[in-house]
Chain A
Amino acid sequence: MAAKLRSYGRGLAPLLWRRGLSNASSSTMIQQQQQQQSGKSMNLYSAINQALHIVLETDPRAYVFGEDVSFGGVFRCTTGLVDRFGKNRVFNTPLCEQGIVGFGIGLAAMGNRAIAEIQFADYIYPAFDQIVNEAAKFRYRSGNQFNCGGLTIRAPYGAVEHGGHYHSQSPEAFFCHVPGIKVVIPRSPREAKGLLLSCIRDPNPVVFFEPKLLYRKAVEEVPEDDYMLPLSEAEVIREGSDITLVGWGAQLSIMEQACIDAEKDGISCELIDLKTLIPWDKETVETSVRKTGRLLISHEAPVTGGFGAEISASIVERCFLRLEAPVARVCGLDTPFPLVFEPFYVPNKNKILDAIKSTVNY
């Protein structure tokens, strides 16, 4: 009986998958220039919440689960979902990250959209094996007979001013070293909603890191409708001619302040939101660096082995003769994330501003 069920499910999976995608196609893929400014003013956690509502509404085979999601999650992202969609589709799991992701892989492999929440990115490591050895290789190792593309793992990441070692980490680089998964990080509520919908509907497993500092802090107009923002497309969010800055997530607002201050000193900065870290949009960064001749990357994670190193190496390969200064990296220090030393640890505005100036005046 169990075996029969399983083969039935598997046989159906591609079909269901298509069904899932066709549901999604009623949504619009917004190109950057088309993005409306209109909508309802909301913060980032509400935008995530809206995306989850939409996906559960439009896809009967979508599930949302994780530690404490039933009552709304510790960051309120899953508020109201149980009441609306029932506890078969939205539920608490036991406290076990490897279980959450393994369960999600199995659910996804049967043709469902499994939206798993890891309570903090700092607690994703027990699930590392399931993500790296399982989710990432599910399609490849089976010759594309099986896949778990319906899996999306959401996890709050990054500094919050009082998180210490285990409520502050930015572990994105670990996952960027893993072919087979995508890594996406939004910078704002509107981006969060559109990107999350794309991640959930993308036919590949995705790790979606949410900047928890911005859950309440970042507020903007978010379109009410079902829309998706393209993955693997970076966006120039500020145009300039002297230096290119690349970042993602919460760090962008700090970089933007540095750009504004640099402008007062007559330095014109171009700021790029990478959005998808793998597979990343080299072309947009390359085009920009060809124009400015200079590159600065900033992320909260420790500088050594951070994703900035990969961007730097790739751009040096592509733009070596055009570069007028070494690529600058303004990142977290090579220490665990510290509590009282947090202001010293983080790549703040003035660290970035200093690096902009020394790169431009190299």
Chain B
Amino acid sequence: MKTRIMGFFGAVNQSCFGGDSYSYLCRSSVSSFCFNSSRTANQLDSLYVSDDDNNQALDFPGGKVTFSSQMRFISETGENRVPCYRVLDDNGEPIIGSNYEQLTKELAVKMYGNMVTLQMMDTIFYEAQRQGRISFYVTSLGEEAINIASAAALTPDDVVMPQYREPGVLLWRGFTLQEFANQCFGNKADYGKGRQMPIHYGSNKLNYFTVSSPIATQLPQAVGAAYSLKMDKKDACVVTYIGDGGTSEGDFHAALNFAAVMEAPVVFICRNNGWAISTHISEQFRSDGIVVKGQAYGIRSIRIDGNDALAVYCAIHAAREMAVSEQRPILVECLTYRVGHHSTSDDSTKYRPIEEIEYWKSARNPVNRYRKWVERNGWWSDEEDRELRSNVRKELLQVIQLAEKTDKHPVTELFADVYDAPPLNLQEQEKQLRETITRHPKDYPSSVPV
């Protein structure tokens, strides 16, 4: 084991091994990669160890619990911080002895291409917001590896319930740049029919539930959806994302507990990026991050370097395999950093040092690190990189232009979908509104057909 310090708001050891207990082989049909897991028994009884002199135990409804004559409070912290699994070092070189899955050239290059595309989409859409062309935007800068590598590790049947900083998952599944732009402009090609703010993407076709702004609400829903997959004996799981801030909501705790009790095939991916708007993680929780919360709920968990695309890929692949084959929830904490402002409504230099942002933007940049590895394999050249970037840029400018000049949905869509069919009150209100529009056409934007 190679131990390094990551500089993540307090040092976290980096480990190429997932846990510190025993390693076991996954029953993966995809490949025979090897990983490690913290020990979590289904039957708590198997944890029953009698170290009591008199061999006495409490026959509690929850199983046998040994007595102890020691009044010993469990410490609020573990002896060491939970280490962080990674595969690639800062130079994109695989750490000797690390357990990881070999990627094919095709997959590896596609992942890199998607990471670059996501980054460029963010830069250009952000700019479009600054120019007043769209009303709002959120970037995933700094979290490209989590976005793309986690998506790459799933199957298309795995159902995704996102927070909002995971558009890369959709990108990976084939959502086109035009589709992203259509949503941000809320035009008539937007599947959400222009009703929600930009970045609230969703695609039924791609098994990606529509983003909802209220934080953490998707988590217990993910457990319910996973229970359905379980009942239907599907070869799939639900994958749901949450920020560090989101783990403070009651819904996070409800979800973890439900998932454990219902033995639901769900993977919780926490993007611990250090900040929830201006709130630093030290004001969010005092535990050793998120990973340790899993065990309290009886959930197998791992902490990984979210800026190492290979580590993300391998850990999420293993997690979804366990979730599906063993019908159990898994919690993955990805350590990363929100390199951009929280959103276009935020100026993060008000509350965090610019050097911190710079450090994560350059020294810990997940795209650059992954690129070094791809290049080292001889799979990518500067020439190819230039071409990729120029193509993506061209496409982005085109899709924005088209999305901008496309009409909005017609007024009927204001009243549709509140219920399966508009009830009487909405029928009346639509009629009334149409009369009002006829009387005062100037009050209403011409981009919305009546």
Taking beta carbons and an 8 Å cutoff, which residues of A are in contact with B? 67-68, 70-72, 74, 91-99, 122-123, 125-126, 162-167, 303-304, 333-336, 338-341, 343-345, 348, 350-351, 354
Instruction: Say if the beta carbon of B235 comes within 8 Å of chain A.
Output: no
Q: Bound state CA distance, A104 and B433, in angstroms?
A: 43
The answer to whether A74 touches B194, judged by C-beta atoms less than 8 angstroms apart, is no
Contact A164:B195 (CB < 8 A) given known A68-B277, A94-B284, A344-B448: yes
Q: Which of A125, A126, A164 has the most CB of B within 10 A?
A: A164
With a cutoff of 8 Å between Cβ atoms, the chain B residues found around residue A344 in the complex are 411, 414, 433, 437, 444, 448
A-B contact pairs, 11 of them (CB 8 A): A67-B277, A95-B249, A123-B214, A123-B215, A164-B195, A334-B425, A335-B414, A335-B415, A340-B447, A341-B414, A354-B436
Interface of chain B residues 411 through 437 with chain A (CB within 8 A): 411, 413-415, 418, 425-426, 429, 433, 436-437
Residues of chain A contacted by B345 (CB below 8 angstroms): 74
A126 touches B249 (CB 8 A): yes
Would you call B439 and A350 a contact (CB within 8 A)?
A: yes
Q: A162-B197, A166-B212, A345-B414 are in contact. Are A333 and B186 (CB under 8 A)?
A: no
Known pairs A164-B196, A344-B433; A92 contacts B409 (CB<8 A): no
Residues of B in contact with A (beta carbons under 8 Å apart)? 135-136, 186, 194-197, 200, 212-215, 245-246, 248-251, 276-279, 283-285, 345-346, 350-351, 408-409, 411, 413-415, 418, 425-426, 429, 433, 436-437, 439-440, 443-445, 447-448
Complex: chain A residue closest to B212, CB-CB: A166
Inter-chain contacts of B246 with A (CB < 8 A): 95
Assembled-state Cα–Cα distance A68/B343 (Å)? 14
Closest A residue to B185 by beta carbon equals A340
Give the docked Cα–Cα distance between A71 and B275 (Å): 13
Q: Give bound CA distance, A93 to B280, whole Å.
A: 10
How far apart are the CA atoms of A125 and B249 in the complex, in Å?
12
Contact B279 A333 (CB under 8 A): no
- Once A68-B277, A70-B278 are accepted as A-B contacts, the answer to whether A335 and B426 lie under 8 Å apart by CB is yes
Q: Which of A92, A97, A334, A338 contacts B283 (CB 8 A)?
A: A92
Instruction: Check A67 against B250 for contact (C-beta < 8 Å).
Output: no
A340, B448: Cβ atoms closer than 8 Å: yes
Please determine whether B215 and A95 come into contact, CB atoms closer than 8 angstroms. Answer: yes
Cβ contact of A67, chosen from B195, B279, B351, B415, cutoff 8 A: B279
Closest chain-B Cβ to A308's Cβ sits at a distance in Å of 14
Known: A67-B279, A340-B194, A343-B445. 6 other contacts (CB 8 A): A92-B283, A94-B284, A125-B214, A164-B213, A303-B429, A334-B418
B284 x A71 contact (CB < 8 A): no
Bound complex: CA A345 to CA B345 (Å): 24
Task: Return B184 CB to nearest CB of chain A, in Å.
Answer: 11
> Per a CB cutoff under 8 Å, which of B200, B276, B418 touches A335?
B418
Are the C-beta atoms of B425 and A163 separated by less than 8 Å?
no
Who on chain A is nearest to B435 by CB? Answer: A354
Closest approach, in angstroms, between the C-beta of B204 and any C-beta of chain A?
19
Q: Do residues B443 and A350 form an inter-chain contact, with CB atoms below 8 A?
A: yes
A123 partner residues in chain B, CB cutoff 8 A: 214-215
A326 to B365, CA, bound (A): 65
Closest Cβ–Cβ distance, residue B337 to chain A (whole Å):
18
Give A331 Cβ to nearest chain B Cβ, in Å. Answer: 10
Q: Could you tell me the distance between the alpha carbons of A348 and B214 in the complex, rounded to whole angstroms?
A: 28
Query: What residues of B have a CB within 8 angstroms of the CB of A98 in the complex?
Result: 250
- Residues of A near B250 (CB, < 8 A) are 96, 98-99, 126
How far apart sit A167 and B214, CA to CA, in the bound complex (Å)?
10
B-chain residues with CB within 8 Å of residue A99 when the two chains form the complex: 248, 250
B418 / chain A contacts, CB cutoff of 8 Å: 334-336
Q: Which 9 A-B pairs have the closest CB atoms?
A: A340-B194, A94-B248, A166-B213, A162-B135, A164-B197, A95-B245, A341-B414, A71-B278, A350-B440
**Which residues of A are found within 8 Å of B197, using beta-carbon distances?**
162-167, 339
Task: Give the contacting residue for A338; candidates B135, B194, B214, B429; CB below 8 A.
Answer: B194
Say yes or no: B443 contacts A165, CB within 8 Å.
no
For A91, A125, A162, A335, which residue has the most chain B Cβ atoms within 10 angstroms? A335
Check if B214 sits within 8 Å of A74, measured CB to CB.
no
CA–CA, A335 and B345, complex, Å: 26
Complex CA–CA separation, A254 to B212 (angstroms): 30
Contact of B214 among A162, A166, A351 (CB under 8 A): A166
Can you name the residue of chain A whose Cβ is closest to the Cβ of B410?
A341
Q: Which residues of chain A come closer than 8 Å to B194, judged between CB atoms?
A: 338-341
Q: Whole-angstrom distance between the alpha carbons of A264 and B413 in the complex?
A: 36
Task: Name B440's closest neighbour in chain A (CB-CB).
Answer: A350
> In whole angstroms, how far apart are the Cα atoms of A343 and B414 in the complex?
11
Please report the C-alpha to C-alpha distance between residue A333 and residue B413 in the assembled complex, in whole angstroms.
13
Chain A residues lying within 8 Å of B425, measured Cβ to Cβ, are 304, 334
Q: Is the CB of A92 within 8 A of B195?
A: no
What chain B residues lie within 8 Å of A340 (beta carbons)?
186, 194-195, 408-409, 445, 447-448
Chain B residues within 8 Å of A71, by CB? 278, 350-351
Q: B252: nearest residue on chain A (CB-CB)?
A: A96
B351's closest neighbor in chain A, by CB? Answer: A71
Q: Given A68-B278, A74-B277, A354-B436, does the pair A95, B248 have CB atoms closer than 8 Å? A: yes
> Are the CB atoms of A94 and B429 closer together than 8 Å?
no
